Amino acid sequence: MNHLPGGPLLEARQSKAITGRAPVPAMSAVSIGYIHTPRADGLWFIALPFIAIAIALFFHSALPYVAQISIAIWITVPHHYAGWVRGYGLEEDWNRWRTRLIVGPLVLIPTVLLGTAYIPITVAIMFMLWDHQHSVMQQYGFARIYDFKAGAGAPLTGRWDFWLGIVLYSNLLLTAPLWAELWIAELYRWDLALTAEAIRTLQTASYSVTAAFIIAYAVHVARATAAGHSVNPMKYAFLFASFGLWYFVSWRDSFLVYLVAHRIMHGVQYIAMVYWYVEKKEEMTGATPRLLGHMSATRYVFYGLLYAVIFHFATGGSVDAMSFGLISALQDDSALKFTAEQATGFYAATAVSAAGVCHYYLDSYIWKLREPKIREGL
């Protein structure tokens, strides 16, 4: 043990007093840490944004706009279920935030209902802004987890990461055609219209501020590295993939492309993160999560999808919205000329056939008597 007044022990204590945790001693300028595992992170946090873009572009070219509603059903609503599990499923969180967990929905739900009834446009704008802020903060949170896992970053790196997300996303909203059309139209509606020259000046200033901040951020990272703090390259690969998706889809003239890509990235990453967190908590404490039961990936996904189906029909949703537009396409096909009832029946038969195909596939190998393990079971 180090009993001297200085040295590593004192530095660790000082750092813990500043950051709230003792640092992991950095042996080099690079310290790699993962949110879960290298393979899982590579798929769900690095590759997923690019996969989401490809799916969104396919939807845009091959499927009707109802596909966006279908993504909301199958991705966004289950990600809300994951939020319920995270907020209400763990005993320690329930005991810590009991009042907030009870009072919050009792205030928010009536506010949404009344606001939608009396000031729908204002409420819609508020929700859109909160959604943007929520999205940025989720990616910021994941970035902080990457540094935490690697023991990387200086004491002020968290604040720099926060403002990096704010600056990059604000520039996106101000300059991307998809969003500029909205705020320019709103200014006209409020009789605050800007001239074309003023808009160009504002957007140029936004680009300049963004570039200046990126340079300042790079200087901060360089100074932190020179002071002995390491960097986690996984964090920057993650941020590049995340903001790369947002910037790419915001320069496409299609809300469908943006909404599908964004919801896949945001929803799936959140679903995965909640699963890993609750699973680890169950392993550590032995407690069975409420709203879920014993933790398993199959049960977690199944309950999330079941919640989505119940929520969809309870709020008046149609079967067509769940089918990615297949039912409407069957009705619109001039050769088939299906009625709504026939198209719905065809979709149901297709779902049953899909389950049957999986059954045929499984039976093709799970009963092979040449396998010793199968003979043991018999």
Per-residue pLDDT of the chain (378 residues; tens, 9 = 90+): 333 333 333 334 344 433 444 444 445 799 999 999 999 999 999 999 999 999 999 888 877 677 777 888 889 888 888 888 888 888 888 888 889 889 988 988 888 888 878 887 777 778 888 888 999 999 999 999 999 999 999 999 999 999 999 999 999 999 999 899 888 887 887 888 889 899 999 999 999 999 999 999 999 999 999 999 999 999 999 999 999 999 999 998 888 899 899 999 999 999 999 999 888 888 877 766 666 666 678 888 888 888 888 888 887 777 777 777 667 767 776 666 677 666 666 666 665 555 666 656 666 655 665 777 656 665
Q: What was the pLDDT predicted at 241?
A: 98
In the numeric block, the tokens 């990126």 are attached to 214
Point out which residues pair with 231 in neighbouring strands.
30
What residue spans of the chain are helical by DSSP H? 7-19, 38-41, 48-62, 66-71, 77-88, 91-118, 120-150, 157-175, 177-189, 196-226, 233-250, 255-285, 297-314, 319-322, 326-332, 340-363, 372-377
Three-state SS at 231: strand
pTM of the model as a whole? 0.79
Q: CA 219, CA 225: separation in Å to the nearest integer?
A: 10
Three-state SS at 30: strand
Q: CA 267, CA 261: separation in Å to the nearest integer?
A: 10
Q: CA 338, CA 288: separation in Å to the nearest integer?
A: 48
Residue type, 376: E
- At a CB cut-off of 8 Å and minimum separation 6, what does 93 contact? 86, 87, 101
Q: What was the pLDDT predicted at 359?
A: 59
Tokens read off for 112:
């949404």
Point out which residues pair with 30 in neighbouring strands.
231
Tokens read off for 14:
């000082």
Q: What was the pLDDT predicted at 2?
A: 37
CB 242 within 8 A of CB 236: no
Q: What was the pLDDT predicted at 134?
A: 92
